[in-house]
Amino acid sequence: MARRPGFSVRLKLTLSYAGFLMLAGVLLLAVVWVFLLRYIPYHVPYTPGGFVPSRNVLIRTFLPRAAAALVFLLVFGLLGGWILAGRMLAPLTRITDAARMAANGSLSHRIRMEGPGDEFRELADVFDAMLDQLESHVTEQQRFAANASHELRTPLAISRALLDVARSGPTRDQGEVLERLHNVNTRAIDLTEALLVLSRSERRSFTREPVDLSLVAEEATETLLPLAERRRITLDVTGETTRAAGSPTLLLRMATNLVQNAIVHNLPDGGTVTVHTETRDGASVLWVENTGPPLAPALIPTLTEPFQRGTERVRTDEHAGVGLGLAIVHSIVRAHDGALDLTPRPAGGLLATVRLPATGPGAEAAYFPAWKS
């Protein structure tokens, strides 16, 4: 945005220093006049004992030298003020250069200002912390975009290959080709919807409403009951009324992803999934526990990364997923100011615990002050 030209801060500070110095000089001269010269008469009679200067003589002698002193103070104030202002504003110049580099796309530069903890040092430290977060977010978004592009390219390439096969081989079973195209298209749609949900939760573009996590857990398990029956997995839902606040749609997606993940990555036959809700230590807790093969502790932190399906976990072609299940859960939990804890079970399988701010009598005002209005 174009702005009209104006004085620099350094020039303003210089003029301020010189102005205050001149004001101090004028006040000093005024003190001399008020408390000294005014008491000396204009004409002093001649005395044989010596010469006594009159006020006229003192004024003629004093004023030129006072004017010279004021001129010296003006020059000294301007020169000294310019130097002092430059030294004081030097840290601000470093911060401005770093901000300009960040505006041009370079987020790796850091100020790392040394010296005592003053206002400029605090501003530089805050700016460095902001650059750290921006660089981390940009790197994460770039990696996510690259992974998403790769994942979306695969079903599109498969669809094109199937269409080429169908066009080059008219005698091929069209029903089989259509079925495979339908499966590939369904997976692409699921991936796109998962990306949209993940983006929405990260932006926190939702309205918080009262939600009962026990009802959310029941709805999620009822939806996935056919999948559990096909895999001979036993679903067990327990718990009590657990009040939280957030987006009902996103929280349902969170619970559905947890239960679906627990069903898919389970024992091939005869496994169990336990879903439980409770209020514990002032937090609304939803945990999902499943049987399955043992998980290496080093694998756990990677499970919430986008497109990290966990190579050591049991997967089948029936439900390979899109690699965003736990990533979406983690994003939704974080958007609701909660915490997600993944713990491998000693006997095999995983325990996923979600903690959200609890609501209830008096708790709503504590966690969501806007509800009081």
Q: Backbone phi, then psi, for 250, in 5-degree steps?
A: -70, -40
Distance CA 63, CA 86 (A): 34
3-state secondary structure of 319: helix
Residue type, 107: L
Q: Which residues of the chain have pLDDT under 70?
A: 1-3, 37-39, 41-53, 143-144, 147-148, 150-151, 154, 169-173, 194, 198, 200-203, 307-323, 360-373
- Domains, the chain: 9-102 (no CATH), 135-203 (1.10.287.130), 209-372 (3.30.565.10)
Among the listed residues 32, 27, 21, the one whose alpha carbon sits nearest the alpha carbon of residue 71: 21
End-to-end, the C-alpha distance of the chain in Å comes to: 39
Q: How far is CA 202 from CA 195, 249, 370, in A?
A: 11, 14, 21
Give the residue ranges of DSSP H helices in the chain: 9-35, 55-103, 119-168, 174-203, 213-230, 248-264, 325-335, 363-367
Among the listed residues 238, 273, 244, 293, the one whose alpha carbon sits nearest the alpha carbon of residue 352: 273
pLDDT reported for residue 154: 66
Q: How far is CA 221 from CA 144, 262, 318, in A?
A: 30, 11, 19
Give the residue ranges of DSSP H helices in 36-117: 55-103
DSSP string, 170-184: TTS-HHHHHHHHHHH
The model's pLDDT over 177-211, given as tens digits with 9 standing for 90+, comes to: 777 787 778 777 777 776 777 676 666 777 888 99
